[in-house]
Amino acid sequence: MAGFAEGNVRVQRKHLMPKAERATMRTELLRFNGAVARHPAVDAWMKEHAGELGAIAHQWFEVMRKCGDEVRELLHDGCPVVCLGDAPFGYVNVFTSHVNVGFFHGAALPDPARLLQGTGKFMRHVKLRPGMATDAAALSKLIDAAYSDIKARVENG
């Protein structure tokens, strides 16, 4: 309960600030140490996740890898993550019957095709299942938007 109370205090203080001061507040970006251009742990993860679900994860992770020259990667919480430098923007993960393609700031992304799932404050994901049609164009646009979003966040502090 102490954490909850502390969270409420912060929220209350924020609402007591003048509107102009609140507008200039910035959310601290999540940063990961150890991201590199091609991480061997990610390649090992891909080899361990062979089969239909692994192929789906690999396909979409490759799309994320190709977003730009500054894209780096690492394994975090057991799944492959793509970063702009050290700031994460996307990940893939394989589950028993589906693959998640997730976005660290997914709640802020435009999603006209309504692919994103989740109710968290920041993160959202797209659930992909073998044999089910995927709106590849819409998912590609989400990946591009996630990359553009993190780029703007990094550049603007």
pLDDT in tens, 13-65: 334 444 444 344 456 899 999 999 999 999 999 999 989 999 999 999 999 99
**pLDDT above 80 (res 114):** yes
Count CB atoms within 10 A of the CB of residue 146: 26
3-state helix, strand, coil in the chain (%, to 5): 45, 20, 35
Distances (CA, A) of 102 to 13, 25, 49, 59, 130: 32, 26, 17, 14, 17
**pLDDT above 60 (res 9):** no
Per-residue model confidence as pLDDT tens digits over 55-110: 999 999 999 999 999 999 999 999 999 999 999 999 999 999 999 999 999 999 99
Q: Check residue 130 and report its DSSP letter.
A: T
Spatial distance between the Cα atoms of 105 and 54, rounded to a whole number of angstroms: 24
Place of tokens 């793509």: 82
> Strand pairing partners for 36?
73
What is the pTM assigned to this prediction? 0.82
Half-sphere exposure of 36 (CA within 13 A, CB side): 8
Per-residue model confidence as pLDDT tens digits over 126-154: 999 999 999 999 999 999 999 999 999 99
